[in-house]
């Protein structure tokens, strides 16, 4: 079972990305432990700069996430950069058309 962030959720004052990632991955780990099944959450790493997206993607990977998500609105070059990062780091990349 997998769930995903809404494509409009990036890092609003009421839901900062780092806190959301921690909360979601805690829930994923608890659900996996309780059921013995693979669970996951598409963490939206979309941000205003590549540096911020790489930071968020690294943090997601450190938390054990196997999949991250970006919005297509970031543009072709940024999409290619994130795809390259995902391949290099063994993380699945989901593109959302926001």
Predicted local confidence at residue 20, as pLDDT: 94
Domains (range + CATH), the chain = 2-96 (3.20.20.110)
Q: Can you give the pLDDT at residue 11? A: 74
3-state secondary structure the chain: CEEECCCCCCCECCECHHHHHHHHHHHHHHHHHHHCCCCEEEEECCCCCHHHHHHHHHHHHHCCCCEEEEEHHHCHHHHHHHHHHHHHHCCEEEEECC
Give me the pLDDT at residue 98, please.
62
- pLDDT one-digit tens code per residue, 34-86: 999 999 999 999 999 999 999 999 999 999 999 999 999 999 999 999 999 99
Distance CA 37, CA 49 (A): 35
Rounded mean pLDDT of 18-28?
96
Report residue 64: phi and psi, to 5°.
100, 10
């Amino acid at each position: 079972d997998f769930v995903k962030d809404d494509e409009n959720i990036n890092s609003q004052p009421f839901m900062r990305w780092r806190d959301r990632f921690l909360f979601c991955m805690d829930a994923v780990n608890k659900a996996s432990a309780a059921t013995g099944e693979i669970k996951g959450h598409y963490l939206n790493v979309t941000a205003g700069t590549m540096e911020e997206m790489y930071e968020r993607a690294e943090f997601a990977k450190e938390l054990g996430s196997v999949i991250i998500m970006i919005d297509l609105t970031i543009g072709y070059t940024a999409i290619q950069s994130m795809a390259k990062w995902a391949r290099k780091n063994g993380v699945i990349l989901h593109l959302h058309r926001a």
